Amino acid sequence: MMKAIVVTDQAAGRAGMKLVEHPEPQGAQLAGLSGANYGDVVVQVHASGFTWDELSWPSTWVDRLGRDRTPSIPGHELAGVVTALSYGTTGLSVGQRVFGLTDWTRDGTLAEYVAVEARNLAPLPGDVDFTVGASVVMPGLTAWQGLFDHGHLRAGQSILVHGAAGVVGSMVTQFAREAGAYVIGTGRAPGRQTALEFGAMEFIDLDKDTLEDVGAVDLVFDVLGGEIGKRSARLIRAGGTLVSIVGPPEARPADGLTVDFVVVPDRAQLSEVVQRVRDGRLRTNIGNVAALDDAVAAFNPTERVKGKTIIRVRP
Ligand SMILES: NC(=O)c1ccc[n+]([C@@H]2O[C@H](COP(=O)([O-])OP(=O)(O)OC[C@H]3O[C@@H](n4cnc5c(N)ncnc54)[C@H](OP(=O)(O)O)[C@@H]3O)[C@@H](O)[C@H]2O)c1
């Protein structure tokens, strides 16, 4: 058995998270049993990340065939060490440090061990701490995919990054600057300094400034949606793109594209992200680090936590 956080009651939300003893996923010789499949490795989790609205997604509650999968272990970002290999795993070995994003429809990473498809993981270099590794997985991949796979950002273009002081927005800001774009960040007044420190060249306080004053931009990276998303669509130049990570945009640019997407695992992109952490081009945005025993409290905070919450499963 292992320690894990589970959820069983969808209506209870994060308050329904419980720390329990749960069966460990098994490795190679038990492929297909106990939660490990062909292509899986078992990872001893050192650090785990959780996305705040995960418990509202169907994938937390049912598997790909729509069958109830409770009790379900949330958290799908991790850094840890491979402890077992199933059949069909390539590129990884027992004892290797790894990090990555696990399948939304399977048991996750708020646990001492997790079975993960090998292709969802990348090697974590020895000089990158597990906490840092886990913290860049989801925001790093989301930012990279939104900017380059979907937004096709190029040097010299201008980009409006909503929520630029937030977990995803701060990554988007850094990658966009490195790519040679002109970056305008948005958010609330307390986020101004943070956004500028992450590399935004201008900041729009959405409570006070007029969004339309930014003029035309080539790309909008929207983490807010709603009315802000709608108004942003009108700012996009001909041939530009509105990329949303909060569902389908309610408005389209007159002469441009809209894309909404959900982040997917990608080994090569994880390696790009971690290389930037190592050489100082990318800073992570961690707000709180807590032990697994304190994870339920960490995900039910009495005050808003800015930055990523990471659960350090092994000290
Ligand atoms: N599609 C995907 O694959 C994907 C992947 C990752 C995340 N997401 C989603 O993306 C969203 C953002 O995630 P995150 O982790 O970056 O959140 P976050 O860290 O809370 O960042 C949001 C930022 O936007 C600011 N903000 C929020 N509402 C605002 C408003 N009305 N006016 C001005 N500023 C506002 C926040 O400021 P304060 O801190 O002051 O509130 C914060 O700086 C979430 O809904 C998340 O579920 C989607």
Q: pLDDT tens-digit profile of 30-58?
A: 444 455 567 889 999 999 999 998 999 99
Predicted local confidence at residue 86, as pLDDT: 82
- SS3 percent helix, strand, coil of the chain, rounded to 5, is 30, 30, 40
**């749960």: which residue's tokens?**
22
Predicted local confidence at residue 35, as pLDDT: 56
Predicted local confidence at residue 29, as pLDDT: 45
Q: State the Cα–Cα distance between residues 49 and 255, nearest whole angstrom.
A: 38
Kindly report, residue by residue over 111-166, the tens digit of the pLDDT: 999 999 999 999 999 999 999 999 999 999 999 999 999 999 999 999 999 999 99
Please indicate whether residue 166, judged by its CB atom, sits closer than 6 Å to ligand 1. yes
What ligand 1 atom has the least distance to the C-alpha of 139? 6
Q: Which of the listed residues 60, 77, 168 should we mutate to test ligand 1's pocket, taking the one with most ligand atoms within 8 A of CB?
A: 168
**């050192």: which residue's tokens?**
46
Please indicate whether residue 4, judged by its CB atom, sits closer than 6 Å to ligand 1. no
Predicted local confidence at residue 34, as pLDDT: 53
Query: Regarding beta strands 113-117 and 97-101, do their DSSP bridges make them parallel or antiparallel, or are they unpaired?
Result: unpaired
- Where the chain has pLDDT below 50, the residues are 27-33
Predicted local confidence at residue 217, as pLDDT: 98
The CA 286 to ligand 1 mean position distance, Å, reads 14
CA-based nearest residue to 244, from 228, 260, 226, 268: 260
